[in-house]
């Protein structure tokens, strides 16, 4: 039986004129426990009471380790420019093609109930429900990241999360950890910039961050970076504004998104790509697969692809936000990964997280399930609610006509090399953050300096760590390091 919204629901929950248990049994009294006499004690045989309490006790699933605080909305993606020469992805096959989507915006580090005005990167994840399966474009509002190798991801999150002793997020821990990783400077040039606190989710950029690979029907590979640009422009909150907004409403971003869509003021973003021939990746003074670097737009201009419109609010926050799960490994024919070290680790870790948090069958949940026909022999496990009555659950079989899908291209480059743990050759950690700082107006530079002086003034930041950061910023821009050192009454080491 279908609910009014078109989704399948158990018949016992749909339009029943009386109260029932989860199994559909009628409940004649949903107000009083079954007791011995009027006063009790309560009997364990009161199944409805036990089910009601047990269900309530389990209403909260474990929150995400990162991106716990989020808001979602639904809409469509429409192709506006022909990119069929670059990719055979069906949903990008021609201008005018529309694909249903759901988007989840989030903060990264803070808990599920935290204010949305805290300085933090924002998650920007889009699930495309294509005819060839789902495509998850899982990114952030910044085009770069703190680290370039997933080996450091747990350490990075531990440093950014609250102190395990006091449960207080503290600058000295963050500055200590990242003092060992100057690759983080570019990311900090975004995080400590004005864009570190977006006005709301509607007025921020999005980026796929990683380098992916596009493949056309002939199998030609092209490196690609994905970028979302809001048609309403990027807007931010400065410190005093963030305090006021967050003090009045710690869910201001979620409410703004919901209210805007409800009022018919639909948020919209343009999708752009940057492309690079893989044969050219060694021509630059940086590694194009390094997530701490951007591709200069004067060399790799933004090319328009399509637009995304969010025109429908979610129907249920738990079902379509808390249970909404993304994974960078979920791609479609015509889009593939690259050798980006951080992307390679995310391919594993995201789905592994969701199997722990939501269960091994999380992709059966309606919000995560593909809208196209699908078939496999993944059976059983916790919360498998798929009704299956076939007798053959192996492949191949002469009793089951299912076959391999039509072959589609994947990158065919030859891979050679020694087994080793190493860092990339072209670190070049200081050039791009320095260029970014110099591109700002003086008042924006001043705010950046002020935020770093505040952070480095933490009483638990040692002289050694303070000197390292002044040295780092001096190598990005000599005047920047000098300003920070002067405000801190120390001499720059460069």
What are the catalytic residues? 67, 140
Farthest CA pair distance, the chain: 85
Taking CA atoms, 120 is separated from 8, 18, 49, 337, 465, in Å, by 38, 47, 43, 27, 22
Q: CB under 8 Å to 12, separation ≥6 — which residues?
A: 20, 22, 23, 24
- Which residues sit in the known binding site? 350
Q: Which residue has the tokens 């009704």?
A: 387
Q: Which of 275, 299, 272 is nearest to 81 (CA)?
A: 272
| Structural element, H or E, at residue 191 | helix 185-191
Asked whether the beta carbons of 297 and 273 are under 8 A apart, the reply is no
Q: Which of 295, 257, 258, 272 is nearest to 205 (CA)?
A: 272
* Token pair for 415: 């891979």
Beta bridge partners of 134: 129
Asked whether the beta carbons of 146 and 184 are under 8 A apart, the reply is yes
The span from the CA of 71 to the CA of 327, in Å, is 17
* Token pair for 170: 């503290």
- Which residues sit in the known binding site for heme? 350
DSSP state for residue 144 in the 8-state scheme? S
- The region that residue 133 occupies, defined by phi over 0 for left and psi between -120 and 50 for alpha, beta otherwise, is left
């Amino acid at each position: 039986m279908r609910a009014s919204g078109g989704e399948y629901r158990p018949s016992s929950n749909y339009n029943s004129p009386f109260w029932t248990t989860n199994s559909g049994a009628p409940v004649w009294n949903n107000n009083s426990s079954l007791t011995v006499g009027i006063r009790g004690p309560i009997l364990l045989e009161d199944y409805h009471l036990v089910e009601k309490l047990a269900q309530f006790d389990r209403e909260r699933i474990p929150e995400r380790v990162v991106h716990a605080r989020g808001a979602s909305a639904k809409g469509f993606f429409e192709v506006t420019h022909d990119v069929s020469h670059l990719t055979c992805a069906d949903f990008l096959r021609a201008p005018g093609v529309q694909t249903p989507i759901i988007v989840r915006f989030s903060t990264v580090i803070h808990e599920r109930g935290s204010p949305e005005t805290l300085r933090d990167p924002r998650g920007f994840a889009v699930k495309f429900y294509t005819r060839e399966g789902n495509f998850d474009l899982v990114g952030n509002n910044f085009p770069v990241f703190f680290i370039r190798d997933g080996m450091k991801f747990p350490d990075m999150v531990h440093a950014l999360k609250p102190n395990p002793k006091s449960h207080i997020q503290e600058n000295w821990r963050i500055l200590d950890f990242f003092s060992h990783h100057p690759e983080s400077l570019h990311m900090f040039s975004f995080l400590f910039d004005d864009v570190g606190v977006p006005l709301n989710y509607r007025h921020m950029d999005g980026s796929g961050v990683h380098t992916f690979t596009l493949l056309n029907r002939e199998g030609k590979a092209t490196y690609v970076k994905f970028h979302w640009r809001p048609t309403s422009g990027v807007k931010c909150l400065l410190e005093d504004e963030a305090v006021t907004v967050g003090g009045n409403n710690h869910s201001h971003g979620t409410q703004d998104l919901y209210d805007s869509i409800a009022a018919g003021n639909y948020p919209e973003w343009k999708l752009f790509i940057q492309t690079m021939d893989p044969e050219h990746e060694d021509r630059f003074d940086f590694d194009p697969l390094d997530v701490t670097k951007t591709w200069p737009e004067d060399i790799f201009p933004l090319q328009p692809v399509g637009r995304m419109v969010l025109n429908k609010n979610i129907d249920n926050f738990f079902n379509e936000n808390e249970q909404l799960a993304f994974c960078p490994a979920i791609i479609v024919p015509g889009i593939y990964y690259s050798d980006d070290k951080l992307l390679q680790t995310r391919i594993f870790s995201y789905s592994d997280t969701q199997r722990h948090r939501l269960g091994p069958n999380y992709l059966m949940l309606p919000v995560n399930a593909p809208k196209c026909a699908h078939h496999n022999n993944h059976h059983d496990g916790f919360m498998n609610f798929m009704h299956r009555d076939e007798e053959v659950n192996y492949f191949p079989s002469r009793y089951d006509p299912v076959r391999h899908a039509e072959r589609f291209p994947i990158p065919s480059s030859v891979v050679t090399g020694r087994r080793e743990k190493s860092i990339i050759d072209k670190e070049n950690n200081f050039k791009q953050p320095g260029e970014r700082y110099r591109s700002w107006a003086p008042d924006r530079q001043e705010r950046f300096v002020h935020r770093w002086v505040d952070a480095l003034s933490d009483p638990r930041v040692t002289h050694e760590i303070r000197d390292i950061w002044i040295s780092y910023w001096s190598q990005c821009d000599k005047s920047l390091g000098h300003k920070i050192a002067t405000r801190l009454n120390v001499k720059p080491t460069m």
